[in-house]
Amino acid sequence: MTNLGFRRAMAEAGVEVRWTDVGDRYVLEEMRRGGYVLGGEQSGHLINLAHGPSGDGVAASLHLLSALIARGEDLATAGAVMRRLPQKLVNVRAERKGELADAAAVWDAVRACERALGEDGRVVVRASGTEPLVRVMVEAPTVEDCDRWCQTIVEVVERDLGSPLP
């Protein structure tokens, strides 16, 4: 679910980024499989295998501070290398979330969005692993595009699999 702006910033810096399913365990599996040292998720879980196999927020913040000091930069300057694209995430209550894989109308809406956005956006639709939800996330160049496409897909998910959360 990492912002597309991150992918672009890493590509410009020549850094290889691997994508996994959502969840620390999938990140860790890919890190071990590929021999990578650093991994994480948008949620803030950062794993540095040089120091251990689990995310540690305090350790991650100390590493960040150390890197900033070594470079003589402040956080705002370091963060400016990435431009975040507008992103919207909507949780849709879906008691029938298990039917998502076969929900043709949902996937038709996703494909229409992907065609419209091309390389300038991204769509992630997935069933929650822990709650009766389908998560709809859209990234787009503008807030308006993001909102419009997210709402379009949410409406189809609501109609076919459930209702939105309050």
Residues 36 and 69 in one domain: yes
Q: Which residue has the higher pLDDT, 71 or 84?
A: 71
Range of the domain at 135: 87-164
The pLDDT assigned to 155 comes to 94
The pLDDT assigned to 164 comes to 54
Residues 93 and 156 in one domain: yes
Domain final residue pick, 63, 79, 95: 79
User: Does the pLDDT of residue 54 top 80, yes or no?
Assistant: no
Residues 76-85: tens digit of each pLDDT: 988 888 888 8
The pLDDT assigned to 143 comes to 95
Number of domains the chain is built from: 2
| CATH number for position 30 | 3.40.120.10
SS3 call for 83: coil
What is the arithmetic mean of pLDDT over 148-163?
91
Residues 12 and 58 in one domain: yes
Give the global pTM. Answer: 0.71
Residues 6+ apart with CB under 8 A from 2: 19, 41, 42
User: Does the pLDDT of residue 61 top 90, yes or no?
Assistant: no
* Alpha carbon distance 47, 119 (integer Å): 28
* Alpha carbon distance 145, 112 (integer Å): 13
The pLDDT assigned to 111 comes to 96
Q: Which residue has the higher pLDDT, 39 or 105?
A: 105
The pLDDT assigned to 28 comes to 84
Residues 93 and 159 in one domain: yes
| CATH number for position 122 | 3.30.310.50
Residues 74 and 105 in one domain: no
Let me know: does 96 contact 161? Beta carbons within 8 Å: yes
Residues 20 and 62 in one domain: yes
Let me know: does 55 contact 45? Beta carbons within 8 Å: yes
Domain final residue pick, 79, 111, 142: 79
Domain final residue pick, 45, 79, 113: 79
Residues 97 and 60 in one domain: no
Confidence of residue 16 (pLDDT cuts 50, 70, 90): confident
Residues 36-45: tens digit of each pLDDT: 888 887 777 7
Residues 55 and 117 in one domain: no
Residues 26 and 92 in one domain: no
